[in-house]
Amino acid sequence: MSQRIKVAVSGAGGRMGREVVKMVLEDAGLELVAAIDMGPVGADAGVLAGKPACGVLLANDLDAALAQAKPDVIVDFTTPHSVFNNVKTAIRHKVRPVVGTTGMSKEEVAELDKLCREQGIGGVIAPNFSVGAILMAKFAAQAAKYFPHVEIIETHGDQKLDAPSGTSVWTAEMISEVREELRQGNPEEKETIDGARGAMYNGFRIHSVRLPGVFAQQEVIFGGPGQSLKIRNDSYERSCYMPGVNLAVKKAVEYTGIVYGFENVME
């Protein structure tokens, strides 16, 4: 491993990808060696990120870009439709994946873990790289031991492709680990409009809101006799994820196999 970690960014032309490019260029311990996106091909990745030209031009062929640049790590912020194949391609090139794209199933994550171990490399897949969001989920899991009646409301911009969000599903998983399944609400309850009560997960509900002008919010609401408890995280801009992505890039080179969840990187 070279002294500087060589980084490729998949989805470099997108809003999160540009933020990752900026973060890499500003860290003396990292070196941007490839930027992949479906457009605008040939544009300088630094300029797209609001930085001076860096000489790394956007390419649209992931396989060729990895073969030529030989990065140590690839950061993927693309789409739920492409992320799984992107990561398989990276692993085939022995490039360690750091993935913030949500939408992969547990089975897909397990397959990627197996492929990484076969290649002797590691990676990080995290539904959320925000420290505040991680703490919110951890606090919610603690509260669920005492408040088994719970619902999750997550709000994102209307361009988000997956619902519910990866963060809300991960939060629900953490809650379920300490909460015996309880189908809450009135047993005679009936939706007069289909979907009004949200998605059911292990007996409690997840509600997804998609609106323009919103970035990312999540609230976990607990109810008990005569009281309620609300745990909420608000993210206002994409820069809040970059310290976490930065740490994951540096940790990924130390791992073998996939580490799932940024909380495991933090600890």
Catalytic residues: 156, 160
Token representation of residue 229: 């408890």
Residue 87's SS3 state is helix
Q: Kindly tell me the sign of the dihedral angle through the C-alpha atoms of 104, 14, 27, 120.
A: positive
Structure letter (DSSP) for residue 44: B
Residue 2's SS3 state is coil
CA–chain centroid gap for 115, Å, is 20
* Residue 167 and residue 223 in contact, taking contact as beta carbons nearer than 8 Å: no
Alpha-carbon distance 190 to 203, whole Å? Answer: 15
Query: Of 43, 95, 87, which is closest to residue 69 (Cα–Cα)?
Result: 95
Residue 110's SS3 state is helix
* Residue 149 and residue 233 in contact, taking contact as beta carbons nearer than 8 Å: no
The amino acid that residue 48 corresponds to is L
> Residue 160: beta bridge partners?
none
Q: Tokens 């994820």 map to which residue?
A: 241
Q: For residue 79, what are the CA distances in angstroms to 12, 87, 100, 141? A: 12, 12, 10, 28
